[in-house]
Amino acid sequence: MSASPHPRLSEEEYLKIERAAEFKSEFYDGRMYAMSGGSYPHGQIILNLGSELRDALREKRCSVTANDVRTRVSKRGSYTYPDVMVVCGPPTFADDRKDTLLNPTVIVEVLSPSTEAHDRGLKFAQYRQIDSLQEYGLVSQTEPRVEIFRRQPSGDWLLSESTGLDSNVRFESVGCQIALAEIYHQVSFEQG
């Protein structure tokens, strides 16, 4: 006897379940995917980068959130919790709950061995559908390296890479740069 297929959830069903849940889940193509816990370095990098962006953007009309705010990724009803988001100008939300951001300018994911392929592949393909998104960053946990994909006027995405603790990463869409030494402050890289 085979198992019955799980019915797909509607966007509304997902949001109802998610808003009552103790743990976060992302949503894609009618399915919920539980988010795994991050490592200590993952948390350090998120906090370091979010803090540096917040400080750099303090005088601008931009705000920074870190992995507790959901974004609706596509009009088909995909939802994720990016590690760091920047929104410039007034934030736009899906509803009055103000827990689902619709207009991020920058999204950054800190790469994990279990999520790197997804973050580079399907997730980035979904993020490219967000009209407001200008930059997508991928931050390594295993070495000081940050990749920034920038939307070009043509709609193409151009890669810029910063490596080494003595370099800086530039977020052109929000007009700031952050030292990798600050992003990786007190982060220990695993050897081997």
30: left (phi over 0), alpha (psi -120 to 50) or beta: left
What is the percent of the chain where pLDDT is above 90? 71
Model confidence at 191, in pLDDT bands (50, 70, 90)?
Answer: low
CATH T-level topology, domain 38-183 = tt1808, chain A (3.90.1570)
Question: In the predicted model, is pLDDT for residue 98 greater than 90?
Answer: yes
Question: In the predicted model, is pLDDT for residue 146 greater than 60?
Answer: yes
Which pairing describes strands 25-28 and 31-34: parallel, antiparallel, or unpaired? Answer: antiparallel
Q: Measure the CA–CA gap between 20 and 159, rounded to whole angstroms.
A: 38
Could you tell me where the DSSP H helices lie in 31-146? 40-56, 116-120, 122-127
Could you tell me where the DSSP H helices lie in 5-106? 11-20, 40-56
More confident residue, 104 or 75: 104
Residue ranges of domains in the chain:
38-183
| Contact (Cβ atoms closer than 8 angstroms) between residue 89 and residue 61 | yes
Task: Give the predicted TM-score (pTM) of the model.
Answer: 0.91
Model confidence at 2, in pLDDT bands (50, 70, 90)?
Answer: very low
| Contact (Cβ atoms closer than 8 angstroms) between residue 181 and residue 163 | no
One-letter amino acid for residue 18 of the chain = E
Question: In the predicted model, is pLDDT for residue 4 greater than 50?
Answer: no
Q: Report pLDDT digits (tens) over 103-133.
A: 999 999 999 988 899 999 989 999 999 999 9
Structure tokens belonging to residue 86: 């920047």
| Contact (Cβ atoms closer than 8 angstroms) between residue 31 and residue 9 | yes
Question: In the predicted model, is pLDDT for residue 45 greater than 90?
Answer: yes
